[in-house]
Amino acid sequence: MLRAAGWHVTGRLAATPYDDPRDAPAYVDLGELLDDVRTDAVALDGNDPLLATHLPALRAAGLLVLLTTPAPLDLDVVRAARATPGPEVAVGLVQRWEPWALTVAAAFPLAGGPPVQVTVRGWPRGPAAAAELVDLVRGWCGDVTAAVSAAQALPARSLPDGEQVAWALLTACGATVLVSHDGPEPAVRLSFAAARLEAGPAGAAWTGGAGLPLLATPDRRPRPLPVPAGTRDGLVATAYALLAGVSGGELPAGDWPWPADLGDLLAVARVLQALRESAASGTPVPTG
């Protein structure tokens, strides 16, 4: 994936001495990686707790960082990394790059503004999937102001079609977001003042009206290379965007979508922490 984004891979830092470095030389430890003058940027698997703890050291060393997954989601780890002065960190929150998500954002001017309610069906379980949905909600509805996962405190126990609501979000635009894991595939219904939009990976259409052509994920690479099977286009786009920050240490500004950063990851981590606290307390929990 990194090579498809234009990276030249100089080596790999394994989590343990027994890991296979695959097709690149292995660094003995973090110190050897930091001493390699050829290195401008580092890609980390944020799901590996050992590698994620290297974030502050990498930033302090002046290296750009790509987190290939929306992790770590531990508030203390993210805060420590963000508090360390250094170049940008790009985060693999990739649903924002998906054609259906881009189409939803582009439809807002046609609908007259942000939605008044959002219902989500068939959303996958797990922290990474929840992080992706929170990131989408922030893009569509503004900051999440409170979260609730306690059954007795949910705004509704089920959706109109009977799917059970697992958790809910309150947003800065006033919209309530109800999330259900029931359903064969992800589908989002956005209700506006005078319209309703149904969208998901399968497509997007106005309720009772015309379908919308899905926007393509922008490929801003000057010389596109083949992308390995199963790799999200958004992750390749994020990795490529980081290359443009090598000289100045900042991600390039441009048209939406742009790569997520540590500020986005911190906002997502706060919401997920609030959901855990809500399950324990039985009440909605503010995310501020």
Q: What is the CATH number of domain 95-214+268-286?
A: 3.30.360.10
In which order are the strands placed within the sheet that holds 203-206?
A: 211-212, 203-206, 196-200, 187-191, 117-121, 176-180, 165-171, 144-148, 285-286
**Residue 28: predicted pLDDT:** 85
- How far apart are the C-alpha atoms of 141 and 116, rounded to whole Å? 9
pLDDT at 65 over 80: yes
Residue ranges per domain, the chain? 12-94+225-261, 95-214+268-286
Q: How many CB atoms lie within 10 A of CB 130?
A: 22
Q: What is the pLDDT of residues 157-190, one digit of tens each?
A: 999 999 999 999 999 999 999 999 999 999 999 9
- How far apart are the C-alpha atoms of 35 and 30, rounded to whole Å? 9
Give the lowest-confidence range in 20-29, 96-105, 223-232: 20-29
Mean pLDDT of all residues in 140-154: 97
Q: What is the pLDDT of residues 84-101, one digit of tens each?
A: 998 889 999 999 999 999
Q: What is the pLDDT of residues 248-266, one digit of tens each?
A: 667 766 778 999 999 999 9
Mean pLDDT of all residues in 212-222: 91
φ, ψ for residue 241, nearest 5 deg: -60, -35
**Residue 255: predicted pLDDT:** 77
pTM for the structure as a whole: 0.93
